[in-house]
Structure 1
Amino acid sequence: MANDNFVQIIGNVTRDPELRFTTGGTAVCSFGVAWTPRRRNPQTGEWEDGDTSFFNCSAWRDLGENIAATISKGTRVVVTGSVRARDWEDRDGNKRTSIEIDVDDCAPSLRWAQAQIERTSRQSGGQGGGGDFSGGGGGGQRQPDPVYGDEEPF
């Protein structure tokens, strides 16, 4: 992931994640996240909502599968990744732009929720969302668990 377009957002999932697989067997999960800024009005002392921003998110491989199994519509999440704008035309021929995030990591926000963590075994090589992956799981061999020495892995 390039450091020049890194983004982190905290928002609510707008639709249940959709898990699909490429023809090569690679998992990709698509979901939406909305974020509405809030600020306190200095004259009234009241909180006011700003304009809501909507982001289309894509997560690949194990991360995508874990998101699809864990996150649902309405969940408040913390998403990190790289951002890009995609131009397209709607059915009426109008030019549109959508902001998309290639997800590097995603987690439920624990400010207003609790989560139970269940570790999964890694089935593909690489580290994180941007590693070098060899495709969807062949061979049936499980990768060894990482060695952390004397430290706990968290």
Structure 2
Amino acid sequence: MAQISFQGRIIGQPELKFSQAGKPLLRFRTVENSHRQIDGEWKDVGAAWRDVTVFGKQAEHLAEHLADKQIVAISGRLDAREWEKQDGTKQTSFEVLADVVGIVPARQQAPTQPPTPSPAPDPWGAQNGGFPEKAPF
């Protein structure tokens, strides 16, 4: 199987299921948008949709933390599945069997006004930096 690593946005709510043997598996879909600079402007040039499956304890843990529209980084194996449509034509779909899934932190909004630094406190609790007003000589 081919290895794959990518970053994408979860589309829809991840779904925790259990196999016939009682093993947990988490399924969700991601989209990775591609952008390219064309004539000096950034434009959307396509999207890669991927179905992802996570197994075991990681599936149960992630089910509690993943949500729609969240950005994740995924590393795993690309698995091809063949299936037949109702009209009899054969189709191939690809699924990512994730080994590692990481949650990408959301971007912080920049503050509208930078914080004003407060003066450092005098560690000795004295005025004039701990020195007398007049020189002692």
Q: Is the pair's TM-score, using the shorter chain for normalization, greater than 0.5? A: yes
The ranges of structure 1 where at least 4 consecutive aligned residues each deviate by more than 4 angstroms after the TM superposition are none
Q: Is the 8 A contact 2:35 2:46 kept in 1?
A: no
| Greater Cα offset, 82-91 or 72-81 | 82-91
- What is the letter of the counterpart of residue 5 of structure 2? Q
Q: Which has the higher strand share?
A: 2
Instruction: Note if 1:66 corresponds to 2:64.
Output: no
Structure 2: 5+ residue stretches without partners: 109-137
**Identity value in percent:** 25
Aligned twin of 2:92: 97
Number of matched residues? 108
RMSD value over aligned CA atoms?
1.7
Aligned residue among 64, 71, 76 for 2:71:
76
Deviations 1:88-113 (A, max 9, x none): 22334343322210000111112626
Larger Rg: 2
- What is the letter of the counterpart of residue 62 of structure 1? K
Q: What is the TM-score normalised by the length of structure 1?
A: 0.64
Q: Is the 8 A contact 1:55 1:98 kept in 2?
A: no
Structure 1: 5+ residue stretches without partners: 114-154
Aligned twin of 2:43: 48
Q: Is the 8 A contact 2:9 2:32 kept in 1?
A: yes
Q: Output the CA distance in 1 between the equivalents of 2:21 and 2:50.
A: 26
Q: Is the 8 A contact 1:17 1:72 kept in 2?
A: yes
- What is the letter of the counterpart of residue 8 of structure 2? G
Q: What is the TM-score normalised by the length of structure 2?
A: 0.71
Q: Which secondary structure does the structure 1 equivalent of 2:12 belong to?
A: coil
In the superposition, relative to structure 1, how do residues 67 and 92 fare at CA in structure 2: closer, same or farther (>3 Å)?
Answer: farther
